[in-house]
Amino acid sequence: MRSHNGLKTAALLGLLTGLILLVGYLLGGSGGVVIAGIISLIMNGVSYFFSDKLALRSMGARPVSEPEFPQLYQMVRELSTQAGQPMPRLYVSPVMQPNAFATGRNPQNAAVCVTEGIARVLDYRELRAVIGHELAHVYNRDILISSVAAALAGIITMLSYFAFFIPIGGGDDEDGINPVALLLMLILGPMAATIIQLAISRSREYQADASGAELSNDPLALANALRKIHLGTQRLPLPAEGRLASSAHLMIDNPLRGGGIASLFSTHPPMQERVRRLEAMARSSAIQYR
C-alpha cells in the first residue's frame, strides 16, 4: 500500500508538472514553457521554506512549553524517539474546533500543532494516535509534497489568466483570442489542476492514517479519534477565509464547512472510508494498544 501510494503521488505530481508545461507552451510556445518553469521554481521555493510559518499563523498558534502541556510532550517525545527522528516544535492553537496538523519541510524543521478543542475532546490514547498520524505526515514528507502540489496547481490557474492578455500560441492577436483555447485555459486547466491536487492530498491522508497507526500501534484509537474530530469539525466549522482555506489541506480533518457538491472537491477523503480502513487494519493485523 505504501509503495502504491508513493508511485501514485509521483505520477500525479508528474502529471501536474506536465500540465504546467502544456499550458505554458499553448500560451507562449517554447518561451512560455521556460517562463512556466521559472515561475514553478520560485513558487515551490517559497512554499518549501515558508509553508510552516504561514500555516501556524493562520491558526493563531503559539509555542507551548513542556510544563504547560506535559502529556503532549510525552506523546511526541515517545513516538519521535521510537521512529528515530528529532522532536518537532510543538504549538497550540486557541481554536475550539478539534483539529491538528503538522507542517515543516523535513523532520529537522517540523512543527506539530493541536487545537485547544482537540485536547478537550480526545482521551490520552486517542490524542496519542492523532500525534502518530501527524508525525507520519512529517516522516513521509507529505507537507513538502502537498506544498509543491498546491504551488503547481496555483501556477496553472495563474497561467490560465494570462490567456486574457497573451495571444494563444505566442502569435499575434489580430484575430483575437481563440474562444475554445480561452475556455481551455480558464476552466479546464485549473479544474484539472485542482482534481490532481485533491487526488494527491487524499492519497497522502490515507497513507498517514496507515503509517500513523503503525507508529502508535493503535489503529482503533485513531479510528475513534477521527470520528470525534469529524463530529467536532461539522459542529464548529471554521470560516473559509484566505489564510485558513490555504492551510485546510494540512489538517487531520477538513476544518471548513463541507457537504453537498463541495465534498467532491474536498482535500480529505471521506471520513467513513478512513475509519473503515483503520478498523480493517486492526482486524487483519490484530494490533492492540499496550
Catalytic residue among 134, 174, 214, 279: 134
Contact, 118 vs 94, CB < 8 A?
no
* Residues with Cβ within 8 Å of residue 235, at least 6 apart in sequence: none
| Active-site residue flag, 279 | no
Give the three cell numbers for residue 217: 500501534
Helix (H, G, I), strand (E, B) or coil at 285: helix
Distance CA 35, CA 38 (A): 5
Distance CA 118, CA 121 (A): 5
How far, CA to CA in Å, does 22 sit from each of 18, 186, 207? 6, 14, 30
Report, as residue numbers or ranges, the catalytic residues.
134
